Amino acid sequence: MEIGYIAKRTLVPTLMEWVSKSRIQNHLPEHCIFIMWLDDSIQFNLSNLDDAYQTKHVLPDLSIYCLSLIYNITPVIETWCQKNNLHNFEMNMRFKCQQSVYTTSRMIKGKKEDKENREYLENKST
């Protein structure tokens, strides 16, 4: 199955669930498209954030904001990779805010279960 299809169907909703539980949600209008899968990349439409938030957090330095966002969503993507049996996933990310665009590519590694720990927990008697 093509990775783009999997990402569109499961990664985008997974990331949107993370957004709904984060402070970012307070700065987005209802029913907006904040994250989408476009061609071969995941796109974040930072222009949907309210103007005050953009002015204070995003526009002073778009790259720093994007790197911070990547840092915060990486554990979510790693877990998603693990659930989809992806050990290495090269992800292109695009962040758009007004007329500015920040793009990057990241190699995401799915978390590997610690086999010894899992066996210990399965065999442990209570």
Q: Which residues pair with 100 in a beta bridge?
A: 97
Q: Which of 6, 8, 54, 9 is nearest to 28 (CA)?
A: 54
pTM value is: 0.80
pLDDT tens for each residue of the chain, 126 residues long: 466 677 778 889 999 999 999 999 999 999 889 999 888 889 999 999 999 999 999 999 999 999 999 999 999 998 988 888 888 778 899 999 999 999 999 887 766 655 544 554 455 444
CA 108 from centroid of its chain's CA atoms: 11
Q: What span, in angstroms and rounded, lies between the C-alpha atoms of 86 and 78?
A: 9
Alpha-carbon torsion (4, 19, 71, 52), positive or negative: positive
